[in-house]
Chains A and B, each alone.
Chain A
């Protein structure tokens, strides 16, 4: 199975900060990587697919990059609505796997 490792697990930041979350795969997943945002009591929401494609309706302050085994999610200017937990997910092949999550907290 492909293991996905996110860092950091928790991130404290202020409104307006630039935030970067890293996701590493135990083997290459090419560009088959997605990022999700989850708020408490809510289902996850797709932000980015195929490593760098912004899902429709997602603000442009979110961006993704990377390929192979290392990927990043960047929030260019953190907004109050962005405090949430973020997950990466590889879909290079079944079995699909998620990273452990990164909780973005208010500093």
Chain B
């Protein structure tokens, strides 16, 4: 079971970035997935979640209206489209597999992809 994030990088404030998370080793469509971030030296913050079939999506207040989570179950891939980025969005972004079809504990994590928002 493996999750591999990509797409991070340096972006200017107000810019956009799209993160991807390639999943392998499990039946992707069966499980809800989330993005969790960690600012440098800080704790964990849940960002967004999506149910197994992609029918329901959820967002933290801090990203609501700016970020969009989606998944392509035919490609076993999770996405996070991040628009109107702010300095406070600077963080290591983890993709995480939930244990069930909807909100649940995270039993598998990727290694993370770093997003830096700076001019």
Range of interface residues on B (Cβ < 8 Å): 20 to 34
Which one, B13-21, B83-91, B99-107, is touching chain A? B99-107
Q: What is the minimal beta-carbon distance from A86 to any residue of chain B, in angstroms?
A: 11
Describe A's contact surface by its main secondary structure. Answer: loop
Contact residue among B61, B98, B105, B110 (Cβ-Cβ distance under 8 Å from A43): B110
Residue of B nearest to A1 (CB): B61
Interchain CB contact under 8 A, B49 and A101: no
With the chains together, A89 CA to B105 CA distance in Å? 8
Does residue B111 face the partner (Cβ distance < 8 Å to A)?
yes
Number of interface residues of A (CB under 8 A): 24
Q: What is the minimal beta-carbon distance from A10 to any residue of chain B, in angstroms?
A: 13
With the chains together, A43 CA to B44 CA distance in Å? 10
Residues of A within 8 A of B60 (CB): 95
- 29 A-B pairs with CB atoms under 8 Å apart are A34-B105, A36-B106, A38-B44, A43-B110, A43-B112, A44-B94, A44-B109, A45-B109, A46-B107, A49-B105, A49-B107, A50-B105, A55-B107, A87-B43, A87-B44, A89-B105, A91-B105, A95-B58, A95-B60, A96-B46, A96-B49, A97-B46, A98-B43, A98-B44, A98-B45, A98-B46, A99-B43, A100-B43, A101-B43
Q: Which residues of B are interface residues toward A (Cβ below 8 A)?
A: 34, 43-46, 49, 58-61, 94, 98-99, 103-107, 109-112
